[in-house]
Structure 1
């Protein structure tokens, strides 16, 4: 299948504009197959009109029908076979095992939402029957459940070309919720996005979903993205990327006559607290963290970018062991030339700050397309006084903050901004002595983990992938796991509603057999 480079305006392909872009191999600089047409304002408007029209019909589809739709999307993605794997490898510079694993994760999370819909209880249906004889005032018949918000705009991430992209968690959860989706393709993996979008459209047609349920457009975030977010048809935004880009979307969304939620997952340095007992085996700890810091060239939102520890002889031994481990790591090709250049710039700015010392770096020099692993160290007092040192350096970089005593340790934790994760390393018997520090770390993150590394995000109901600002724009929600669907729904109460207008989930007979709260009791029974 050749890459056509056109936009998906609902079920139709469109290339009305004269502005195009191409992708190039990061190493050879050779052009990849495909010339991608940036969507015009007319095309974007067409996609928005179709999506808004589709919403009226799509939100009324049954949960079981939407589950079938999601499963068909998963099947169509698998039908792309090796073509998808090879194209994604070429565009992302990621190895086959990583891409195959990410495809599995993408398929898995789509099916996870399908299973959620088959169960159906996630809508939080509740019924309080009328009490006409109640005194001094009677009670009306009240029924409430979660209903879809409307059209959702999804912006693809750069570091997960499948799992956080065209058919990634934002798209899957929005479609599951009953919301049409317009995807703004990432400029670094336009071909991959095209292949996935084609698979979704095939599923739309096979399942007889309304034209406009899904669209995908190419173009600049400053033009195409801005036009989408400012359109009154759009009711929510899903985004994964930099703090700068996420905040620009957030400001746009709040500048509207009707502000809308932006669910943005942004920067995080994912602090790791090393208690003294964690340094009993410095060689093992150094090997574990050197691997996590450099995994995937450090291009994970949960990369351990900050280590906090108390000074002692064991910490000095850890620094030497970490130096040995990092020196062995070969610089790896990064996702794109732009990301590699940003890494070099941000890394150099970080280590040039006063008081910074490079304690570990890869022995082998990096090529122009590669990111060279670097770990620096700094005194706690310097870290606290310089907010620049808290900024994420996206790539194989980490910073060790050395504290003289518990007081400095408390100040470092207090100074931290919101994070996706925080990690505590140490023996369980020692953790009770640091309970206050651990509880304060919990206040700073969405996921706190013990004796592990933050890289690796399980897709399941218990996962929280989000955190206090600036890790995310709303700490109450997650972008991974079944809870992600809650971003794109809102509670609606039906008072004295005629039975034929009630959603199936609220009807007397409970035809879906879901768990509901009826007159303050959980039950699957009918009324």
Structure 2
């Protein structure tokens, strides 16, 4: 029997409605009413989370690991409903939703395995030196401790992996922090289903019900109330630069500022080196087009810019990209607002007068069609507006005069999630000159690949200098847990009083 959303918040184990509602906008199937959030409901959820922290924050790693694994099991027990509802709300294909669900449950289990090992605690011990001259040294032990209640904002473009039970939630829970999720209005039924899974896991594991809550949005006041609540100790966000910066500023303006881990925007430039272009320019152009249009370009790692040396290889690269993009019809985007923003971004690029339109297919409503522009290195450097992220299947080819100008463009980049080098062995010296610059610009550097797709593993960094993210760190991989911990030193403590991780 198909799942019918109840449209309520899930706060500390209770389904709670509200007089004011908003209506979902699915691509297929029936729309449903969902309770709007409010500052009063935020306070109820955060107060419960603070109460839960006094027990959940002091659980052992095994208890939390079993909890994370139980969440994964509960999500999988709702797999068909989650896929059906997610597809209806987002227009993402079934295979994509199934893969994203596997990524979500996989990262929950990976975090469980990681915290069992204990390495994330960074335990340190400097034994006492009572006979040291000129002054003795006390016994000092250090361990990482959880911060407290964490606010997480669901993302529009990943209904599962970056939303209710996504990387921010999983890493905060792994650290020992209760979580309050603000569900995204683009997929409220999917958020509700996943929230039910987490709530069921809380109950099965016998944890304090305030360990997890999910509040639907409906207005900006919910997010504002969350980050301004004095009991919230950190926040995780994936979304637009404008929205994320507004929340970041609220966090910084609090009487007691808190860290805001926001992923805000990236154009993910690719640098196409001369020998690689001479060997396979057309193949690279076609590959780029495939990456640009994957998921209608709705990936934060979408490679929106390709930097190439001017010449015949640049012609071949651009021609192959245009041919491949022209074969892609308009596709449905996640929301009407995202589609409107894509077209506005495309039109803004054209309005600069600094980039020539190679391809721009008509699209309206919730649909987006690929667009391709070409500019010179001089025009790029003189037109900062070209470097703004356009969320969708739009690419810009920058034709530079020489390797020196390629280097100049790299140095002028703002912070990025990724930077990519396409190169052959003969490009090693030129690439070596670029790498130190790119290391300062991005959290992940690639060679001969496309950045769409972020592996969930220990060595992954999904973050970068501002505005890619607000703080250096990662929202993917086991290092993400460290965002919600802080180091505490214990001097001359008796074993009976030490945290169990140090005793």
Partner of 1:111: 109
For 1:3 and 1:368, how far apart are their aligned partners in 2?
26
Partner of 1:506: 502
Deviation at 1:121, TM superposition (A): 2.2
Spell out, residue by residue over 1:321-366, the C-alpha distance to the aligned partner (whole angstroms, 9 max, x if none).
222111111221111111111111111111221221112345xx44
Aligned partner (choices 104, 120, 123) of residue 121 of structure 2: 123
Q: How many residues align?
A: 500
Aligned partner (choices 405, 409, 414) of residue 411 of structure 2: 414
**Aligned partner of residue 233 in structure 2, secondary structure:** strand
User: Would the alpha carbon gap of residues 220 and 462 (structure 1) be closer, same or farther in structure 2, given more than 3 Å must change?
Assistant: same
Partner of 2:185: 187
**Aligned partner of residue 309 in structure 1, secondary structure:** strand
For 1:83 and 1:406, how far apart are their aligned partners in 2?
52
Deviation at 1:77, TM superposition (A): 0.4
Comparing 278-287 with 140-149, greater Cα deviation is found at 278-287
For 2:479 and 2:425, how far apart are their aligned partners in 1?
30
**Aligned partner of residue 219 in structure 1, secondary structure:** coil
For 1:35 and 1:307, how far apart are their aligned partners in 2?
43
Deviation at 1:444, TM superposition (A): 0.9
For 2:493 and 2:34, how far apart are their aligned partners in 1?
49
Partner of 1:399: 396
Q: Does 1:468 align with 2:465?
A: yes
For 1:321 and 1:117, how far apart are their aligned partners in 2?
47
Contact 2:276/2:427, CA 8 A, preserved across alignment: no
Deviation at 1:54, TM superposition (A): 0.8
User: Would the alpha carbon gap of residues 244 and 417 (structure 1) be closer, same or farther in structure 2, given more than 3 Å must change?
Assistant: same
**Aligned partner of residue 467 in structure 2, secondary structure:** coil
Aligned partner (choices 449, 454, 458) of residue 452 of structure 1: 449
Contact 2:349/2:386, CA 8 A, preserved across alignment: yes
Spell out, residue by residue over 1:131-159, the C-alpha distance to the aligned partner (whole angstroms, 9 max, x if none).
22222212211110100011100001110
Contact 2:26/2:90, CA 8 A, preserved across alignment: no
Q: Segments of 4+ in structure 1 off by > 6 A?
A: none
For 1:135 and 1:25, how far apart are their aligned partners in 2?
72
Contact 1:127/1:506, CA 8 A, preserved across alignment: no
Aligned partner (choices 224, 235, 238) of residue 237 of structure 1: 235
Deviation at 1:381, TM superposition (A): 1.2
Q: How does 1:190-209 map to 2 (within 5 A)?
A: 190-209=188-207
For 1:407 and 1:81, how far apart are their aligned partners in 2?
52
Partner of 1:511: none
**Aligned partner of residue 405 in structure 2, secondary structure:** helix
Partner of 1:13: 15
Please report the TM-score for the alignment, with normalisation by the length of structure 1: 0.93
For 1:49 and 1:2, how far apart are their aligned partners in 2?
30
**Aligned partner of residue 234 in structure 1, secondary structure:** coil
Deviation at 1:2, TM superposition (A): 2.2
Q: How does 1:155-194 map to 2 (within 5 A)?
A: 155-194=153-192
For 1:383 and 1:244, how far apart are their aligned partners in 2?
23
Deviation at 1:46, TM superposition (A): 0.9
Q: How does 1:420-431 map to 2 (within 5 A)?
A: 420-431=417-428
**Aligned partner of residue 505 in structure 1, secondary structure:** coil
Comparing 392-401 with 119-128, greater Cα deviation is found at 119-128
Contact 1:347/1:393, CA 8 A, preserved across alignment: yes
Spell out, residue by residue over 1:198-252, the C-alpha distance to the aligned partner (whole angstroms, 9 max, x if none).
1101110111111210010012452011111111100000000111111111100
For 1:86 and 1:69, how far apart are their aligned partners in 2?
26
For 1:174 and 1:11, how far apart are their aligned partners in 2?
18
Q: How does 1:361-372 map to 2 (within 5 A)?
A: 361=360, 365-366=362-363, 368-372=365-369
**Aligned partner of residue 308 in structure 2, secondary structure:** strand
Aligned partner (choices 455, 476, 480) of residue 476 of structure 2: 480
For 1:37 and 1:426, how far apart are their aligned partners in 2?
52
Comparing 191-200 with 115-124, greater Cα deviation is found at 115-124
Q: How does 1:28-427 map to 2 (within 5 A)?
A: 31-32=30-31, 34-220=32-218, 222-279=220-277, 280-361=279-360, 365-366=362-363, 368-427=365-424
For 1:137 and 1:428, how far apart are their aligned partners in 2?
58
Contact 1:124/1:145, CA 8 A, preserved across alignment: yes
Contact 1:67/1:113, CA 8 A, preserved across alignment: yes
Deviation at 1:441, TM superposition (A): 1.9
For 1:7 and 1:132, how far apart are their aligned partners in 2?
57
User: Would the alpha carbon gap of residues 341 and 143 (structure 1) be closer, same or farther in structure 2, given more than 3 Å must change?
Assistant: same
Contact 1:14/1:43, CA 8 A, preserved across alignment: no
Give the alignment's Cα RMSD to 1 decimal: 1.3
Partner of 1:491: 487
Deviation at 1:429, TM superposition (A): 2.5
For 1:471 and 1:341, how far apart are their aligned partners in 2?
22
Can you give the 5+ residue segments of structure 2 that lack an aligned partner in the other structure?
A: none
Deviation at 1:45, TM superposition (A): 1.0
Contact 2:152/2:169, CA 8 A, preserved across alignment: yes
